[in-house]
Structure 1
């Protein structure tokens, strides 16, 4: 079994150097590493030209389109591995990361995806602590629960993985690409959801194991999405709501779609509030919660429009309908 690792990056050469060093320290080395950079990113290109002593083939892929979706699609299309794994440039996988991922894929041919915890750090300290009971699930009415950075306990099946720590079986994703309808100029939040849910809909297993871990040092972003860096942006939040709405409308049943839209408008979440959340936080956040609500409603509406006016071309094969790889 061959493993390819793809790392999309933009203007973060120091973070990327730490990530590549972590891959060099793997107990199970990757069979190839592909770093996808923008054509304008001279700093990262310079770094990669000096990284010529890695214990694995290192390839630089150049794209001229902004956004993680374009980078991932180009990078994944050029891989040769039976398993394609991705992490972020500001992450450092633990030394047994690839070994554990490979073990899962060898153990069960119905597993399409494997991922785990990203231990988020702010400097040398954990950014957040907790022990959530639920990780990576889409509830029946459409609420999405992440918590990938806080998961503990045993491995379990999930609906969604996180881009900083995810790997997929090539045979399971034949014909499937990251959705180019995802909005945003950089992070394009929820692109992983749009990728994973079609696999779940067809019956593939997706595994989250907290011990399949990376250290994550959230770095500066160079786009409008600064929400997860502590800054509000109406455009970014609208994009988040659009992407989530589009992905869920394609995944949920007709009845669930109606329930989801009612829940999203009436209740919602802290990040993408509905009317109930507006009333809840109005005394303390005033104009900010109203701005978040307006951006969310705008994104939801645009997500509905995208769903109505487009159709995904990808056909995802069900488990078992593929040829077993003979790769060593």
Structure 2
């Protein structure tokens, strides 16, 4: 099976260099590497013009719109492999990454998606904790990630992480990344929409901690600055998460989700209980996060109502 690797990138040429060098070192040679670059990203274009490709089958795609969704959809149009593997420009796949991905897809024709662990480095410090539960959507709508901490055997999951996810191109078919995802860069939860759609189509999604990449979270050039609060970024995050879940959950579970989301929530998408928990330590900031979370929920509800008749006819 031929492997295509798709890398969206923006203004991080040093990180991209590390990623491409890791692909050159794969034990299973890559068939095609697609790097999607913004038309205005002069520093990345300069880097690619000087990069020593050697035997790396590098193909560039230009995108004019901001955001990872537009970049990935532009890259999808150029895919020629039987397997599509997506990673970030600030990640470096382990040498056996493509070999392990291919082995899973060859062994079981029902598998549509394969994900694995991203070992996160903050400078020289590695996040080396471990979690057994990874990539699961609980019945009431809470999503458990933990992809960067997964241990144990290969198992079925519901959601993969964008830095380390691969798909059988047959399973993708005409599916595209959801352009309703908000944000001008990271567009958090875009991968949840994609993987849940593939799972709904009847394909198995698996997670294998041995399918690994090293992840060096780099600077973002949008409103989402990771751990720093930004009202717009939080509204976008909650909107994206809520919209995906409203479309995935059946009506009864959708109602339970609304009750849980507004009353409890998570530390990223606050409900009343999470607000009370954070209030002693964060004070007014906790209130800002709660209001932003509720705005994101409401805006997703409105988007869902607009989209729902279309979804029912598909």
Q: Secondary structure at the match of 1:149?
A: helix
Q: Secondary structure at the match of 1:92?
A: strand
The equivalent of 1:112 in structure 2 is 112
The equivalent of 1:271 in structure 2 is 268
Question: TM-score, normalised on structure 1?
Answer: 0.93
The answer as to whether partners of 1:175 and 1:315 remain within 8 angstroms in 2 is no
Once the two structures are superposed, what CA deviation does each residue of 1:59-96 show, in whole Å capped at 9, x if it has no partner?
A: 11111000000000010121101111110000000000
Which residues in structure 2 correspond to 1:143-158 (within 5 Å)? 143-158=142-157
Counterpart CA distance in 2 for 1:52 and 1:132 is 39
The equivalent of 2:23 in structure 1 is 23
Q: Secondary structure at the match of 2:147?
A: coil
The equivalent of 2:193 in structure 1 is 194
The answer as to whether partners of 2:132 and 2:152 remain within 8 angstroms in 1 is no
Counterpart CA distance in 2 for 1:251 and 1:53 is 42
The answer as to whether partners of 2:34 and 2:59 remain within 8 angstroms in 1 is yes
Which residues in structure 2 correspond to 1:291-310 (within 5 Å)? 291-310=288-307
Counterpart CA distance in 2 for 1:125 and 1:263 is 35
Which residues in structure 2 correspond to 1:154-165 (within 5 Å)? 154-165=153-164
| Alpha-carbon shift at residue 241 of structure 1 (Å) | 0.4
Q: Secondary structure at the match of 1:135?
A: coil
Question: TM-score, normalised on structure 2?
Answer: 0.97
Gaps of 5+ in 1: 317-328
The equivalent of 2:245 in structure 1 is 248
Q: Secondary structure at the match of 1:310?
A: helix
Counterpart CA distance in 2 for 1:189 and 1:183 is 8
The answer as to whether partners of 1:115 and 1:209 remain within 8 angstroms in 2 is yes
- Provide the aligned length of Structure 1 versus Structure 2: 313
In the TM superposition, structure 1's runs of 4+ consecutive aligned residues that sit over 6 Å from their partners are 312-316
The answer as to whether partners of 1:92 and 1:214 remain within 8 angstroms in 2 is yes
Once the two structures are superposed, what CA deviation does each residue of 1:281-311 show, in whole Å capped at 9, x if it has no partner?
A: 2111111111110110000011111111025
Which residues in structure 2 correspond to 1:1-328 (within 5 Å)? 1-126=1-126, 128-226=127-225, 228=226, 230-311=227-308
| Alpha-carbon shift at residue 314 of structure 1 (Å) | 11
The answer as to whether partners of 1:175 and 1:314 remain within 8 angstroms in 2 is no
Q: Which stretch has the larger CA shift, 48-57 or 157-166?
A: 48-57
The answer as to whether partners of 1:176 and 1:314 remain within 8 angstroms in 2 is no
The equivalent of 1:319 in structure 2 is none
Pick closer, same or farther for the CA change 1:15–1:315 going to 2, 3 Å.
farther
Once the two structures are superposed, what CA deviation does each residue of 1:213-239 show, in whole Å capped at 9, x if it has no partner?
A: 00000000000001x2x2100100100
| Alpha-carbon shift at residue 153 of structure 1 (Å) | 1.0
Counterpart CA distance in 1 for 2:46 and 2:130 is 41
| Alpha-carbon shift at residue 260 of structure 1 (Å) | 0.4
Counterpart CA distance in 2 for 1:213 and 1:11 is 24
C-alpha RMSD of matched pairs (Å): 1.4
